[in-house]
Amino acid sequence: MTKACFSTLRSWLPLRGISRLALGIAFSCIVSTAWADYSVEFLRIACIPEANYFSVEYKPLSGSDVFPSGNFDRRVSLDRLKMWKKHGYFTPANLHYECKLAGASYILTSSQPPASDKGMCGGAPRISLSLRRNSDLWLDSVVFGEDCFGGATTNRFEVFDSRSVSLCFSPPNSSQSVCESLFHLDDAIPQVTPLTQSDVEGFFDQRAKASNEVRRPGEAVPPRALSLQEFKKGVCGFEGFRFPEKFEVDVIGDGEFTEKLGPQIDQSGVLAKRINVSVNRAGKRVVLLLGAADPVIWNIAWTPGTTVLAALASGHHRQVVSGLPKGTPLLLSSFSAKHGPCKPLHVGLSLNRGDKRIVNRDEIDAFALSITGRKADRVSIPNRHGQVFIGDPVYTDKEVLTSPDTPPDSFANSTLPLAGDLALMDAIQQGLIRKTTRGDIEIWKALKPPIALMWDTSSEIKPRGFWKSYVVMKAFKFPAGMDRIGFTSFYVPKGVPRVEGNQGSATVIYLDTMQCSGPFCVPPSAPAR
């Protein structure tokens, strides 16, 4: 086949030279030889809405399999490609494909420039692929399939039930496949940072460095290869910080009965706790590892001669640290806000009342070891007033030091919409909702609403399993944090608009239609309790 003959063919068929060598070689026009030497590149796509499954993989096939007749006729060859497309094999040039799963639209786009006889890799142009979920970009122009230059590529991805995305890669200059999870969550779609080609290359760069490095003095943990999720989020640790030879590690957990004295600092629906930590370890250098489920303002103070080297605060909801001077290494991470690279730090106590025994010490030590290179020297919890003493108690403010750089009150955010109980209290003041009364229950008993009820002699109705019950008076939208304020019930009379927003663990009953949604709805025929 001559260059002219080959160029004409490559201009309209997605061929890739197996040898990937110069196209300046004189080609024979013998058809069977031409198809044997070249593969046809496909993206094999499976979209199964009934199973909530979507996958795309790079699938090169030999030309003799795709075009068994060896016929170069354009019309015949295009008909063959249509046949392959019918069964899920798509050519990557200018491809736009949409798959709808569980109410979400996944949009795949790919491109591939036409082959050229210029340069060593002109006959093997790279495929560029992007993936969106609705308007969110998940894969951003990654190299898909093979790379003539020997770089890292992506060759497969799968979406399962809109809850996880796994990807398979080919490391640089290797045909071995490495599969990783971009994310996996059981209860929500996370905010996914787009994965770029630079990310793919950086991911394999750090794997290569980790395999060649050894632990150096002062490093917290031996270098290790990060997973894709870890690489995207960052390492849970004080990057660039060298721990001294001698220091102490103090882990402080959240007290179960600590009062919520702080302001609203996030949208969890829970007021922040303020936990005051006084470190009295004269002549010692201390690293603080702080963890809680609720949002917490950790207020740090120390005695003269004590050095707080660094602090980490990681929890389910937002964690902030006050009192430390600017420049102190500080790492904050919260699971619910998908902020920060660390898993929530939890201090588990015995379930026996009054027993302060730590039941997950091994887990705590493993966490401390991964961050600092040593186990926890002490594990503490605050008293009900939110006070923790590291070392001997300190009884007056004059005995401790604290920095004015970040005072506790600086974290109060008046611009945040009210959430949780605060928002419900505000809605009552605005007349949008009101508390349920005994008169309401007497009326509703005759209506037999589809909800399991119980009542007592108090002035307020107490539906079974609920501590809070409200009547919606006007247009009302559920505030953020409904999952965190316990079971509630909302009764919507005739003529009142439907309640908008995420109801969380609340139960809602529309009294005009007896429609019920929520955990305590029961069939109308079921007996009320």
Report residues of the chain scoring pLDDT below 50: 1-12, 17-36, 186-187, 218, 220, 454-466, 525-529
Q: Which residue from 462, 442, 443, 445 is spatially nearest to 454, judged by alpha carbons?
A: 462
Parallel/antiparallel/unpaired status of strands 95-101 and 104-111: antiparallel
Q: Which residue from 335, 261, 269, 249 is spatially nearest to 298, judged by alpha carbons?
A: 261
- Return the pLDDT at 184: 56
Per-residue pLDDT reduced to its tens digit, 120-135: 777 788 999 999 988 8
The CA distances from residue 380 to 168, 247, 321, 386, in Å, are: 43, 17, 17, 12
DSSP lists the bridge partners of residue 435 as 470
The CA distances from residue 125 to 21, 45, 312, in Å, are: 13, 21, 47
- Return the pLDDT at 225: 74
Percentage helix, strand, coil for the chain under 3-state DSSP, each rounded to 5: 20, 30, 50
- Return the pLDDT at 76: 84
- Return the pLDDT at 21: 30
Sign of CA dihedral 426, 429, 430, 432: positive
How far is the C-alpha of 280 from the C-alpha of 15, rounded, in Å?
Answer: 72
- Return the pLDDT at 457: 36
- Return the pLDDT at 75: 83
pTM above 0.75, yes or no: no
Per-residue pLDDT reduced to its tens digit, 348-393: 888 776 667 888 999 999 999 989 999 999 999 998 888 999 998 8
The amino acid that residue 333 corresponds to is S
- Return the pLDDT at 301: 95
Angle at 245 between CA 241 and CA 249, to 5 degrees: 75
Cβ contacts of 265 within 8 Å, gap of 6 or more: 272, 295, 297, 318, 320, 411, 412, 413, 416
